[in-house]
Amino acid sequence: MGLSHSFLDLLAKQVILADGAMGSMLYNQGVFVNRCFDALNLENPSLVQGIHEAYVEAGVDLIETNTFGANAFRLAKYGLIQEVDRINRAAVGIAREAAQGRVFVAGSIGPVGGELTGNGRLTDAQVVEMFQNQAKALVEEGVDLLILETFSRSQEILLAIAALADITDLPLIAQMTSEQGDETVYGERIDEAVRRISEQPNVAVVGLNCSTGPSGMLASLECIRPVTDKPISVQPNAGMPKRVEQRTLYMSTPEYMAEYAKRFFEKGARIIGGCCGTTPDHIREIVRSVRGLDKAMGAAIDKAVVHIETSKSETQLVGTALEMKSRLGRKLAQSEKVAMIEVTPPRGVDVGAIVEKARICAEQGVDAINIPDGPRASSRLSPLVTAVQIQQHVDIETVLHFCCRDRNLIGMQSDLLGASAMGLNNMLIITGDPPKLGEYPDATGVFDMDSVALTDVLRKLNCGMDIGGNLFSPSVNMTIGVGANPVASDLEREIMRFKQKVEAGAEYAITQPVFDVESLFRFLDMIQLFPIPIVAGIWPFTSFKNAEFMANEVPGVTVPDVLLERMSQAKTKEEGRALGIEIAHEMVEAIQDRVAGFAVSAPFGNVNTALAVLGKGPVA
């Protein structure tokens, strides 16, 4: 099956996952470091093709030709200066054969490898000619795009960018490499270099590769994000190389690389791959981790548009006022503070324990029990069944989380109608964590709709209209809540999404757990034009380990270092729990005048911990 869209079209729709190392892979297969790796395109094409094919099978969208050093200056060292054209053309043919029309082929161009102008050995004109001769062969042989990579001097990469502008209009990725401390090996600030590169009109993507491992690359990514509005690519090494028994080894495991790949994605990277030391195993794990995240986010961008054709005008769709839908809705509409406690459904079928927890909360004056829907892509008792059981046995309302991951459009509407028929009148609409983050990574995420589209569907159900434009009576009568993340890595996009949710029909929002007062207040200031009640999510830590887990493993959550340091002071389990409650209660006190209430999580199902945060009930 051939590619159905151009590189730039795909980039606009999803994150693009690129391949990993070529040089270190060849080295691991017995090619000595004193040989010309680029010449293998002529001398051993099957070896090169096999590496390409391994990356294609790992699930990438993009592979790079084996031409990083295939310019006249570098090839001259091996007596191959006359072979520039043949080596580059052969490389494209090998990559094309491996790609089989399934993935994009990028022509790789590295720095010339010599000193430039001044007292150096090469003039600007010579360097430009070298770049153009290499690029012409790649372009004429049919690459989909070009990638300039591992440049340490902006002077040289700007020469390359200008040289390519004269011979092709193919998309161009321009990548610098930096050392620890966000500077190049020549002491040039990486953010300043990327800013200059980003200003070049023929550059489609700016980025970073090589030199550092995933941790250093993440710091560099955060450094360059503010200086460019172009898509960003990141391709780190598999850690810093180490010499072990006369061999150069890269120590980062595939799982470690994949964890950082998720962070690259969350920080806005649009092309993610690997450089020295990364193997098809590393890339396979990166693909598994990022693809699901991107599918969920892609649904949130443009995959979830619900079109309803009906003769009934939108202006004629009128639903019940918020205060008439539920007791929770009434308090929110009348600006009374609300208190909710989140309890996760059981893994089995016994609801006795969670019903008893709900009863304790009701006795302490809690307004509602939040029921998550497969949090972190786990599988538990149906949240709908859990909510029904609670409301049948305890005089307390529930807020049913309803995510888009596990059902198609028809199934979601059926379950919403069913929930209404069972007396569940409070909904929190969320897109949901992708399966790759959870205990069942091979499960399929559906994501027919995202939270914006589903909010619009529920608004229409509240007015007696289904997704097909069919009218029914009586209508659904549910409050419509949505999620919000005050510390989103792309806050501008989060604000845009929040606006879309409100316009789609959201009546209140519950935030991700809040650990930073200033970030919350900044977010609240930014959404003043979309005035719906905001309920702050609160998570009481139970230990330093729990705080670290929240900081590193839970998508959309940021824990300030000062809180991690504070939690690290707890020496016992009891001290950790008490300190977590203290921190969470301080958060409640600090923000209570700016929010409509609190949704406190009950860590490990301990509702007494959540009640203590709210100043209710026993602390035991």
User: Predicted confidence band at 251 (pLDDT cuts at 50, 70, 90)?
Assistant: low
| Residue 620: predicted pLDDT | 46
Contact (Cβ atoms closer than 8 angstroms) between residue 352 and residue 317: no
Higher pLDDT, 50 or 450: 50
Structure tokens at 505: 């029909």
- Please give the C-alpha separations between residue 133 and each of 87, 396, 482, in angstroms, as whole numbers: 12, 74, 55
Where does a domain end: 538, 555, 572? 538
Where does a domain end: 508, 538, 568? 538
Answer yes or no: do 241 and 348 share one domain. Answer: no
Q: Which residue has the tokens 């150069």?
A: 248
Answer yes or no: do 290 and 214 share one domain. Answer: yes
How far apart (Å, rounded) are the C-alpha atoms in residues 400 and 278? 43
Query: Within a domain: residue 331?
Result: no
How far apart (Å, rounded) are the C-alpha atoms in residues 235 and 222? 14
Answer yes or no: do 413 and 351 share one domain. Answer: yes
| Residue 618: predicted pLDDT | 57
Higher pLDDT, 312 or 269: 269
Residue 85, number of CB atoms within 10 A of its CB: 15
3-state helix, strand, coil in the chain (%, to 5): 45, 15, 40
Amino acid identity of residue 364, one-letter, is Q
Q: ∠ CA 250-254-255 to the nearest 5 degrees? A: 130
**What tens digit of pLDDT does each residue of 526-545 get?**
999 998 999 999 999 999 99
User: Predicted confidence band at 305 (pLDDT cuts at 50, 70, 90)?
Assistant: very low
Structure tokens at 496: 């845009």
User: Predicted confidence band at 433 (pLDDT cuts at 50, 70, 90)?
Assistant: confident
Answer yes or no: do 196 and 67 share one domain. Answer: yes
The domain in which residue 369 lies consists of 336-538
How far apart (Å, rounded) are the C-alpha atoms in residues 482 and 541? 24
Answer yes or no: do 353 and 445 share one domain. Answer: yes
Higher pLDDT, 473 or 317: 473
| Residue 311: predicted pLDDT | 42
- Across the range 281-309, mean pLDDT stands at 65
**What tens digit of pLDDT does each residue of 163-206 get?**
999 999 999 999 999 887 788 888 899 999 999 999 999 999 99
Answer yes or no: do 15 and 156 share one domain. Answer: yes
**What tens digit of pLDDT does each residue of 395-404 get?**
999 999 998 8
Answer yes or no: do 355 and 218 share one domain. Answer: no
Higher pLDDT, 570 or 300: 570
Contact (Cβ atoms closer than 8 angstroms) between residue 218 and residue 224: no
Answer yes or no: do 80 and 159 share one domain. Answer: yes
Query: Within a domain: residue 481?
Result: yes
Answer yes or no: do 288 and 431 share one domain. Answer: no
Domain at 175, CATH number: 3.20.20.330
How far apart (Å, rounded) are the C-alpha atoms in residues 352 and 443? 29
**What tens digit of pLDDT does each residue of 16-68 get?**
999 999 998 998 888 887 899 999 999 999 999 999 999 999 999 999 999 99
Domain at 411, CATH number: 3.20.20.220
How far apart (Å, rounded) are the C-alpha atoms in residues 564 and 541? 10
How far apart (Å, rounded) are the C-alpha atoms in residues 417 and 424? 10
- Across the range 323-349, mean pLDDT stands at 95
Structure tokens at 11: 């980039």
Answer yes or no: do 248 and 114 share one domain. Answer: yes
User: How many domains, in total, are found in the chain?
Assistant: 2
Where does a domain end: 538, 567, 586? 538
Task: Give the pTM.
Answer: 0.62
Residue 248: half-sphere exposure toward Cβ, Cα within 13 Å = 18
Contact (Cβ atoms closer than 8 angstroms) between residue 342 and residue 604: no
Residue in 591, 489, 567 with CA at minimum distance from that of residue 221: 489
How far apart (Å, rounded) are the C-alpha atoms in residues 417 and 354? 24
User: Predicted confidence band at 254 (pLDDT cuts at 50, 70, 90)?
Assistant: confident
Answer yes or no: do 285 and 352 share one domain. Answer: no
Answer yes or no: do 59 and 104 share one domain. Answer: yes
From 241-245, 270-274, 288-292, 489-493, the region with the lowest mean pLDDT = 241-245
